[in-house]
Amino acid sequence: MSALLIFASTFALVLFLGLQQLNVAGNHRVLAMLTSAGISGANLVVLKSIPGPTDALDLAAYITGGPLGILVSMLIHPHLVRVFKGGRHG
């Protein structure tokens, strides 16, 4: 269970970090605010879910969550911008 939680929280953290970078670069203010909240929540889960000491499965979960999270953020960002009608507010 801990490896799954570590993977999911690391995936979510890097997903939100990637989306945040794309949103800031694109001046998508509302989306940037939303992803900032996601970063905070996912980071708390990452920090709370990693037990000490970790085993190989926990480390593998942590290491693989990030690369998959950034890939998915790059794939879904254009769709999120369309849903939010360009995301340019303010």
Residue 81 corresponds to which tokens in the numbers above? 């911008």
- Whether 62 and 13 have beta carbons less than 8 Å apart is answered as no
CA distances from 4 to 18, 21, 50, 60, 84 (A): 21, 26, 11, 10, 31
pTM: 0.88
* Structure confidence by residue, pLDDT tens digits, 60-72: 999 999 999 999 9
For residue 11, the model assigns a pLDDT of 98
Give the confidence band of 87 by pLDDT, cuts at 50, 70, 90: very low
Q: DSSP string of 29-78?
A: HHHHHHHHHHHHHHHHHHHHH--SS--HHHHHHHHHHHHHHHHHHHHHHH
Domain range summary for the chain, segments of one domain joined by +: 2-83
Q: Which helix (H) or strand (E) holds 79?
A: helix 56-83
Q: Is the pLDDT of residue 5 over 50?
A: yes
For residue 45, the model assigns a pLDDT of 95
* Structure confidence by residue, pLDDT tens digits, 15-44: 999 999 999 999 999 999 999 999 999 999
Give the confidence band of 46 by pLDDT, cuts at 50, 70, 90: very high
- Whether 45 and 9 have beta carbons less than 8 Å apart is answered as yes
